[in-house]
């Protein structure tokens, strides 16, 4: 069974499989998993690594399934590096990796750790063609996955939840949902032509951008409130909101494509500053 549509042999197959690794979208989720683990009072590196592997496999599943549906099912993409058989092989491998890692969490931590991790794969596998056809689920699917990764990484270490980690998960959900609204606007003309109901298509580009900035602003205000009022969140965490806010201001008047690029990188900065604030607590 051939894996690669372009070229033959092991090297071509590996290139085709590797093409489904998208660091821009995978790095935040894996980082959220590790951040959640580091936020707990104790940290077991092996458990953190296993949870990060589960998150990576879930995202790989999402990318393969999305490309398979768009190219072979909907005919929306002009090309795809994997054959149909290659897509099925990649899906089987990623799914096997995910459930192997999840069962390892059950064995090393408890059943709840596995159940908290499971939504990552469920969201990933059902993104296309189920979740991406509705403006709400298409928007919050990836951000929800990030929030679940954060919660799962934390629970795998702490075996409990608290208001602080739940509040931070809510921040990621709000902020990344705002970025996703702007990201979807990059395909506004095409999505509108095929009646794909993204937020930008339903509300129009201008109102969609206002909604996006409203979500991101709410997320950043929540960080500041948590830093000021919640003992478990260091005051320096507010600097993460300032850093992201500066990027958001720069992106405000940019087109959807440039704004998405800036905001995604702003999310990296936000996570890095938040991690440094929690780990180093410079203002404590």
Burial category of 177 from C-beta neighbours within 10 Å (exposed 0-12, middle 13-18, buried 19 and up): buried
Cβ atoms 58, 121 nearer than 8 A? yes
Mean pLDDT of 6-33: 90
CA–CA dist 9, 284 (Å, integer): 57
Residue showing tokens 């590790």: 34
Mean pLDDT of 147-170: 93
Domain ranges of the chain: 22-161, 162-284
- In the prediction, which pLDDT does 1 show? 61
How far is residue 75 CA from its own chain's centroid? 25
CA–CA dist 271, 172 (Å, integer): 9
**Architecture of the structural domain at 22-161:** Orthogonal Bundle (1.10)
- In the prediction, which pLDDT does 208 show? 93
Q: What is the pLDDT of residues 54-71, one digit of tens each?
A: 999 999 999 999 999 988
Residue showing tokens 């592997």: 53
Per-residue pLDDT for 33 more than 90?
yes
Mean pLDDT, the chain, whole residue set: 91
Cβ atoms 269, 243 nearer than 8 A? yes
Per-residue pLDDT for 281 more than 70?
no
3-state secondary structure of 7: coil
Mean pLDDT of 242-270: 90
Give CA separation, 216 vs 211, 220, 276, in Å.
9, 6, 21
Q: What is the pLDDT of residues 89-126, one digit of tens each?
A: 999 999 999 999 999 999 999 999 999 999 999 999 99
- In the prediction, which pLDDT does 271 show? 83
Q: Which residues contact 189 (CB under 8 A, 6 or more apart)?
A: none
Cβ atoms 49, 38 nearer than 8 A? no
Number of helical (H) and strand (E) elements in the chain, helices listed first: 12, 0
Alpha helices in 159-204 (DSSP H): 163-185, 188-193, 199-203
- Among 155-159, 180-184, 206-210, 228-232, the range scoring the smallest mean pLDDT is 228-232
- In the prediction, which pLDDT does 129 show? 87
Angle at 103 between CA 137 and CA 53, to 5 degrees: 65
pTM: 0.89
Q: How confident is the model at residue 159 (pLDDT cuts 50, 70, 90)?
A: very high
**Architecture of the structural domain at 162-284:** Up-down Bundle (1.20)
């Amino acid at each position: 069974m051939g894996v690669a549509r372009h070229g033959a042999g092991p090297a071509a197959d590996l290139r085709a499989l590797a093409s489904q690794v998208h660091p821009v979208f995978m790095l935040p989720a894996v980082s959220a998993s590790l951040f959640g683990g580091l936020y707990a009072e104790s940290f077991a590196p092996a458990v953190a690594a296993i949870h990060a592997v589960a998150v990576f496999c879930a995202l790989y599943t999402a990318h393969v399934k999305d490309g398979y549906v768009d190219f072979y099912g909907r005919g929306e993409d002009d090309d795809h590096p994997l054959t149909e058989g290659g897509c099925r092989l990649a899906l089987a491998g990623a799914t096997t990796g995910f459930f192997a890692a999840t069962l390892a969490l059950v064995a090393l931590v408890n059943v709840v750790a596995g159940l908290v991790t499971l939504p990552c794969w469920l969201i990933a596998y059902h993104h296309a063609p189920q979740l991406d056809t509705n403006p709400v689920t298409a928007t919050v699917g990836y951000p929800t996955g990030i929030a679940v990764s954060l919660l799962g990484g934390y629970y795998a270490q702490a075996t409990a939840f608290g208001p602080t980690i739940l509040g931070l998960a809510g921040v990621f959900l709000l902020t990344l949902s705002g970025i996703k609204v702007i990201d979807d606007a990059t395909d506004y003309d095409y999505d509108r032509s095929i009646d794909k109901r993204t937020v930008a298509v339903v509300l129009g580009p201008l109102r969609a951008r206002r909604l996006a900035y409203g979500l991101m602003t709410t997320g950043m205000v929540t960080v500041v409130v948590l830093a000021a009022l919640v003992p478990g969140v260091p005051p320096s965490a507010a600097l993460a909101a300032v850093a992201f806010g500066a990027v958001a201001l720069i992106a405000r008047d940019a087109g959807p494509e440039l704004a998405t690029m800036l905001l995604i990188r702003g999310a990296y900065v936000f996570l890095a500053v938040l991690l440094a604030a929690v780990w180093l607590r410079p203002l404590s």
